[in-house]
Structures are given as structure tokens and as C-alpha cells.
């Protein structure tokens, strides 16, 4: 193998004959495969409608025998004809055709072709051909990464071969390859320093006061403020109670530069949840601002002596900030870092502490390591692949995992202009900012998208090239209505606080290229394909036994972005993390033949009734349809499961539109659902009228609040 190509797990190559299926294959890697199977009869295997690069075709014609198949062939019959080619250790090597895709997509084989290959009745050897330089951040040196990684997965017996198992094995090899990146052993602080220096001409525009500040000035302020924070407390963590904006960004950067863990607090949460988070974090200093303290008068503020008011402190450091703004431009990062003790914490050290929303109980502390955050910035940064000069809207709160990683760390490291605003609900102002600043990327939730539908004019969003939603399921009719109004389809993504957060995202398909197959990167109803470096498994929610990935099951993920465990809660950590790094998400879903993940709902949003798993979100969608409710409008119903002596659980419907004849309404609804093909067990047993459906600041349903209403 050449020094630019890494080979992993060559010992897994079976001595017996098999069908070798690389997820993708370039001209440079074909000779490497020939070496791996030297001394054995190689038959190159091609789907008849696939187009090959001329150089690949010429090489294959010179190097050995070939065979052709069609997706429409009788696969078992073709398999019988192919069997002799595997005698005496012979191998069939499938050659994927020319394809165009988003960067770092590991499989360039259409689902239909993959299904045909797996139906031949031959043992299958999945092979990952990974190109690490495709998932490269601007601060990384491509030359430090191998040009290609060839990783051999365990052979799949003929009887077990399926697209689902093939993809599962391939994703595990991608995860291993990605986790070897040198970047992941480094420091978030160092990456941020390098990003601010490299992209010094980029800007943050703060929509709250229409001020703009360059990354060069942000670097000077963050360096000086970091020294102030280090001298203010010996505590390894520092609290931050600020909305998105220049103050919030500088405070977070300074904390990381100071070698401290920033802890951004949810100022929309209940007082008990806030106090719990403060207690768990063990803090003695909090960065905030006077106007924010006055605005949130009812917030359970710590004593004044523990508060650092950033708008008072930075002016007192003005001369030092000017000096370091100038020096920050002149001195290389390698000189600045030791002067400010930047980068001492790295790899598996704690970088950020977030708290879950507490939608189903007391908030849990989620420490994310330097490795976690850098991995996730790299994972979605590579897949988004934004053009230089792009601008992203940062209005999600900094205590929100997407607000933290995607609109705080990512723009700094990758040099994306950041347009901030403190309130994601003020969509009228957000629409104005998008138009004024030419924003290209909008991250939102379906709840917030409804605000754009009501208050924003279509021409205001013309600069947008990407709209991504998360936190809750994106209803189809909302997606279609948004596209009709603004001319851009919102793409659904997926992630959790514990995964740093992004794991999946739908994106616009790449532009077609002549004679090349377009590998889709979006599928309506799914949350997209897995980001590079994340593996997936499914288990039966009831028995915990492994399931094929194309069956509905509990989702487990593995990757460098997975958190190390809950703060001070080893018992909870053991419930969701295995010793070899697999994380139990608590969500139920399935993978299709093209690698798109479909989320069926959270396990906490399923009821087990008469031994059957009933998904609340599916029932809600059916009720919305039966009642003619508009998914673009505010939530009017919610489904909750409550304990029942006879059936284990029963479904209760919370409704803001219930009339006085509740019993009759429930009977009428039952008939409508059953007419639509829903079993009787899935129908609500009762309707509970409520003034409003409780929703968290993130836009997610407040499960705890809903359960209290249902039981109340």
C-alpha cells in the first residue's frame, strides 16, 4: 500500500470466494484491491446501465475478466451463474459507476442496485473506500491526512446479505476511519484561535443593535477577557447567562481560551430547573449583562458578587483589547497560544457543559469534550460544504446544543459570517436581518418556521440557500407550504445534546453532471443520511435484541461526537452508554436502502398497549388530519399515554379545541381514525380540554407538562 493509502483489517479478507462490494471506488484504489486479492481470480462486476470513467474502463479491460448484470435480472438465477467464478477463492469485485454526491458520502450505490447485489445468494464482503480529505476543516492540513483509507468489514454470509446489514457494516468502518483523525486529539480552544486568525476578515453582525465586529476584534477582546476570567475564579467552569450576540460569543470564547468550561443557562426554563443546573455545575462566577438582568427580573439570579457584567468589564480593558487586536493579526497562533495558556485542555477533557431541556424530568448535565465538539463541527461542516463568504443566522439560544455548536463554534472555525439576534420567536425582525445581511443558512424548528409563514414576506428570504429544522418532526404540509411561499424546501435534520448535537441532515441534492448518477442527499419524511463518522445499530424496544436496520427499532449511535456520560450521574450514564461507546438515543427509527434515517418517535412517546408499541406522533398526525387541523398553525392537540390497570397504558388526547360534549367528540374521533385504518387500541380513550399545549423554548413538546395535564 502507498503511504497515502491506509489499509485497515486486511485480516478479515476470507480465503474463500466472495462478492466484494466497495461503497465507492476510484481509479487510484483499483490497483490496491488487485494487490489485496493477488494470486486469486478477479472478475470485475458492473451494473449494465452504470457509466464508468474512461480511465477506469480502460484499466479494467486490461486487467482481467468482467461480468455485467442488470437491476431487473432474476437475481437468484444470476447468482447461480456467478457461483463458478467464486471457486478456488475467486472474487467478484463490484465497480460502482460514476456518481456525484455531497462530500463524504461513503456509499455511491443506489438502493435498488444494492438490493440486487445482496439478492444473488453470494457471501458479501463490504469494503469502505474513505477519502478523509473530503471531510476536512479549513484549519486542518489535508497533507496530514491519508489520501484514502481502505477498510475491510466482516464478511456477510449469503443468507444474511441485505442492504441494511451492508450499510451497518460500512458505517462502522466509516466511524473507525473518522475517529483516527489527528484533529480530534487537539483542543477546541486552539481550533477557535486558528479560525479567528485565518478568517480575521469575517464578521459578526449583532441584530440587537445593528453593530458589526470583525473576527480580528473578537479575537482581541476574547484573549484579554480570558485572562480576566482566569484571574476571577479558580473554578474549572464558568456560567454564562446571555442570548446570542457579540457579548455571548466573546464570553464563550474567553471561557474556552481561559481553559474553563462555559455553562450557558436556559433562561426560559422554570426556576427549579435553573437552580438544579446551577447546583449541578458547581459554579461561583457567571458572565451576564446589566440590560439582560433587568429584562429577566424574575430569573433566579445568583448573588451580585458572583456576577461579571461584560458590558462594564470590556470597556475597562479597552487599551489591552486594542493592543491584542493588533498583535492578534501579527503574531502566529503558535506564539499566542502559550502566552494565554490556550490549548492545555484537549481531546477527552471537558470543553462545554450543556443541560438537557428537562422535557421529561430534571435537567441532566451533558459534558461535551474537545473531541466531541471538534468532531461534530467537522462532521456537519464537511457535509454542508458552504462557499466562502456564506452567512448563517444565529438566533437559537446558546444553551441549546445546535445554538452552541452550529452557530457558535462552527462559524468561527470555518470562517462563516454570523448574523445574530437574541430571540428566535421574533421572526419579523429575523426576516429583515436575512434580507439586509444576505443570510444563506437558516437553522430553525418547525414551531419557529410557522412564525416565518405568518410574518415574513417571500422576497426577504431570497438569499437563503439552506433551511434546516430540528428538535421536532417537520410536518409534510408545513414543509410544502414553506416551499410554496418562499421557494426553498426546509430540510429536516436530527441530533441530540448528547451527540454534540448533529448526527443526520437532509441537504439539497448535488448538481447533476453528465453521465454521472446523482446520489440523493434529501428524502422527504426522513432526517437525512448519517454524517461522516457515525455508526448506527437498532435493537428491539421490548427485548433489546439486535434488529436489522431496515426494521423499526431503538436507535443506537457510535462516533467521536458521542458524549462521555451525564454529569455526576453514573447510573443514568450506564443506562444509555455501553462500554464500547454505543449510545442509546431513546428514539425509534429505521434506515432505508439508500441510507436515509426515518424517526418514528421517542421511546418516551410510545405507549405499550396490549403488547403493542403505539407511536404518539403517528397518532397525532392522524388526529390532525381527521380533525382538519393546519400543521402550519400552533399546536392544538397532543397525545399522552397514562397508566391503565387492564391494558398497561391508554391514550389520552389533550386538546385546545375540545367542546363541551367530550364523550361524543371522543367517539366521533375514534370512528374517523378507525375508518382511516387505525386499530382501536391506538384511539384516544378520553379527551382532556386544556387552554394551551405546553411547549419548551426549543419548540419541543413539554412532555412533563403534558403528562401533568393528562393526569390532573
Q: What angle do CA 548, 551, 556 make, to 5 degrees?
A: 65
360 vs 130, residue with greater confidence = 130
- pLDDT tens per residue, range 520-541: 999 999 999 999 999 999 999 8
Q: What is the dihedral of CA 270, 271, 274, 278, to 10 degrees?
A: -170
Last residue of a domain, one of 143, 174, 205: 174
- The confidence band for 231, taking pLDDT boundaries of 50, 70 and 90, is very high
**Domain with 217 in it: what CATH number?**
3.40.50.980
Last residue of a domain, one of 319, 345, 371: 345
1 vs 563, residue with greater confidence = 563
pLDDT for position 218:
98
- Rounded Cα distance, 236 and 224, in Å: 18
Does residue 238 sit within a domain?
A: yes
Average pLDDT (432-454) is 93
Does residue 676 sit within a domain?
A: yes
Average pLDDT (460-471) is 93
Does residue 23 sit within a domain?
A: yes
Measured from the Cβ of residue 515, the count of other Cβ atoms closer than 10 Å reads 11
Same domain, 10 and 143: yes
Last residue of a domain, one of 174, 203, 235: 174
Does residue 680 sit within a domain?
A: yes
Q: Are strands 237-240 and 65-69 parallel, antiparallel or unpaired?
A: unpaired
Same domain, 21 and 121: yes
Does residue 274 sit within a domain?
A: yes
Least confident residue range of 244-253, 571-580, 652-661: 652-661
* Under 8 Å between Cβ of 205 and 418: yes
Residue 569 has pLDDT above 90, yes or no: yes
- pLDDT tens per residue, range 131-145: 999 988 989 999 889
Same domain, 22 and 138: yes
- pLDDT tens per residue, range 85-133: 999 999 999 999 999 999 999 999 999 999 999 999 999 999 999 999 9
Q: Per residue in 218-244, is it b (16+ CB within 10 Å) or e — as a string?
A: bbbbbbbbbbbbbebbeeebbbbbbbb
Same domain, 221 and 313: yes
Same domain, 138 and 233: no
**Domain with 698 in it: what CATH number?**
3.30.300.30
- pLDDT tens per residue, range 602-642: 776 777 676 666 778 788 888 888 888 875 567 888 888 88
Same domain, 322 and 217: yes
Residue 351 has pLDDT above 80, yes or no: yes
Same domain, 621 and 703: yes
> How far, CA to CA in Å, does 25 sit from each of 30, 111, 190?
7, 17, 35
Does residue 341 sit within a domain?
A: yes
Same domain, 236 and 155: no
- Nearest residue to 400 (alpha-carbon basis) of 366, 435, 450, 441: 366
Q: What angle do CA 139, 145, 151 make, to 5 degrees?
A: 135
pLDDT for position 334:
96
Same domain, 130 and 268: no
Residue 295 has pLDDT above 80, yes or no: yes
pLDDT for position 633:
64
Range(s) of the domain holding residue 270: 213-345
Location of C-alpha cell 481509479: 27
Does residue 22 sit within a domain?
A: yes
Does residue 443 sit within a domain?
A: no
Same domain, 64 and 136: yes
The DSSP result for 352-365, as a single string, is EEEE---TTSS--E
- The confidence band for 647, taking pLDDT boundaries of 50, 70 and 90, is low
Same domain, 228 and 318: yes
Total of domains in the chain: 3
SS3 419: strand
Same domain, 152 and 237: no
| Mean of the per-residue pLDDT values of the chain | 91
pLDDT for position 615:
78
Amino acid at each position: 500500500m502507498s503511504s497515502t493509502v491506509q489499509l485497515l483489517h486486511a485480516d478479515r479478507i476470507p480465503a474463500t470466494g466472495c462478492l466484494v462490494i466497495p461503497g465507492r471506488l476510484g481509479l487510484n484504489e483499483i490497483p490496491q484491491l488487485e494487490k489485496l486479492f493477488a494470486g486469486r481470480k478477479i472478475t470485475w462486476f458492473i451494473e449494465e446501465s452504470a457509466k464508468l470513467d474512461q480511465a477506469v474502463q480502460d484499466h479494467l479491460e486490461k486487467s482481467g475478466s468482467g461480468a455485467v448484470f442488470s437491476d431487473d435480472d432474476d437475481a437468484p438465477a444470476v447468482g447461480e451463474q456467478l457461483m463458478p467464478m467464486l471457486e478456488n477463492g475467486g472474487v467478484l469485485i463490484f465497480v460502482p459507476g460514476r456518481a456525484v454526491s455531497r462530500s463524504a458520502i461513503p456509499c455511491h450505490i443506489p438502493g435498488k442496485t444494492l438490493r440486487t447485489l445482496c439478492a444473488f445468494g453470494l457471501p458479501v464482503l463490504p469494503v469502505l473506500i474513505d477519502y478523509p480529505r473530503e471531510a476536512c476543516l479549513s484549519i486542518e492540513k489535508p497533507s496530514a491526512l491519508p489520501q484514502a483509507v481502505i477498510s475491510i468489514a466482516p464478511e456477510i454470509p449469503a443468507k444474511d446479505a441485505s442492504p441494511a446489514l451492508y450499510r451497518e457494516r460500512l458505517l462502522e468502518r466509516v466511524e473507525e476511519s473518522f475517529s483516527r483523525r489527528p484533529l480530534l486529539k487537539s483542543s477546541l480552544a486552539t481550533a477557535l484561535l486558528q479560525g479567528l486568525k485565518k478568517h480575521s476578515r469575517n464578521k459578526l453582525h449583532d441584530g440587537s443593535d445593528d453593530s458589526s465586529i470583525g473576527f480580528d476584534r473578537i479575537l482581541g477582546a476574547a484573549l484579554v477577557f480570558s485572562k480576566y476570567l482566569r484571574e476571577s475564579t479558580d473554578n474549572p467552569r464558568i456560567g454564562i447567562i446571555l442570548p446570542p450576540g457579540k457579548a455571548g460569543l466573546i464570553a464563550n470564547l474567553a471561557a474556552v481560551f481561559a481553559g474553563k468550561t462555559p455553562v450557558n443557562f436556559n433562561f426560559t426554563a422554570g426556576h427549579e430547573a435553573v437552580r438544579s443546573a446551577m447546583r449541578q455545575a458547581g459554579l461561583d462566577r457567571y458572565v451576564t449583562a446589566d440590560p439582560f438582568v433587568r429584562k429577566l427580573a424574575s430569573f433566579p439570579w445568583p448573588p451580585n458578587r458572583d456576577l461579571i457584567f461584560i458590558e462594564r468589564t470590556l470597556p475597562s480593558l479597552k487599551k489591552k483589547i486594542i493592543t491584542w487586536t493588533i498583535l492578534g493579526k501579527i503574531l502566529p497562533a503558535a506564539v499566542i497560544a502559550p502566552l494565554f495558556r490556550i490549548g492545555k485542555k484537549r481531546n477527552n477533557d471537558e470543553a462545554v457543559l450543556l443541560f438537557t431541556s428537562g422535557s421529561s424530568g430534571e435537567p441532566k448535565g451533558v459534558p461535551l469534550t474537545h473531541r466531541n465538539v471538534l468532531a461534530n463541527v467537522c462532521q456537519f461542516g464537511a457535509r454542508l460544504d458552504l462557499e466562502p463568504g456564506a452567512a448563517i443566522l444565529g438566533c437559537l439560544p446558546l444553551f441549546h446544543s445546535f445554538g452552541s455548536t452550529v452557530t457558535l463554534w462552527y462559524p468561527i472555525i470555518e470562517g462563516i459570517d454570523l448574523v445574530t439576534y437574541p430571540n428566535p420567536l421574533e421572526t419579523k425582525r429575523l426576516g429583515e436581518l436575512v434580507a439586509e445581511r444576505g443570510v444563506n443558512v437558516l437553522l430553525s424548528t418547525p414551531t419557529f418556521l410557522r412564525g416565518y409563514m405568518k410574518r415574513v414576506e417571500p422576497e426577504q428570504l431570497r438569499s437563503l440557500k439552506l433551511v434546516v429544522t430540528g428538535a421536532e418532526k417537520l410536518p409534510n404540509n408545513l414543509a410544502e407550504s414553506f416551499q410554496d411561499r418562499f421557494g426553498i424546501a426546509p430540510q429536516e435534520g436530527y441530533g441530540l445534546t448528547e451527540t454534540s448535537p448533529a448526527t443526520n441532515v437532509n441537504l439539497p441534492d448535488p448538481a447533476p453532471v453528465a453521465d454521472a448518477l446523482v446520489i440523493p442527499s434529501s428524502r422527504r419524511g426522513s432526517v437525512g443520511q448519517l454524517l461522516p463518522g457515525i455508526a448506527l445499530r437498532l435493537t428491539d424496544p421490548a427485548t433489546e435484541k439486535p434488529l436489522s436496520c431496515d426494521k423499526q427499532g431503538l436507535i443506537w449511535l457510535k462516533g467521536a461526537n458521542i458524549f462521555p456520560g451525564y454529569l455526576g450521574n453514573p447510573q443514568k450514564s450506564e443506562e444509555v452508554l455501553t462500554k464500547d461507546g454505543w449510545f442509546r438515543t431513546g428514539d425509534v427509527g429505521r434506515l432505508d436502502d439508500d441510507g436515509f434515517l426515518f424517526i418514528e418517535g421517542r421511546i418516551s412517546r410510545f405507549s405499550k398497549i396490549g403488547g403493542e408499541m403505539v407511536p404518539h406522533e403517528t397518532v397525532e398526525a392522524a388526529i390532525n388530519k381527521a380533525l382538519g387541523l393546519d400543521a402550519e398553525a400552533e399546536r392544538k392537540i397532543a397525545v399522552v399515554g397514562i397508566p391503565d390497570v387492564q391494558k398497561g397504558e391508554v391514550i389520552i388526547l389533550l386538546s385546545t379545541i375540545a367542546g363541551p360534549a367530550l364523550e361524543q367528540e371522543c367517539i366521533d374521533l375514534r370512528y374517523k381514525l378507525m375508518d382511516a385504518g387505525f386499530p382501536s387500541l391506538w384511539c384516544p380513550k378520553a379527551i382532556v380540554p386544556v387552554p394551551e399545549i405546553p411547549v419548551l423554548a426549543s419548540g419541543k413538546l413539554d412532555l412533563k407538562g403534558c403528562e401533568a395535564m393528562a393526569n390532573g
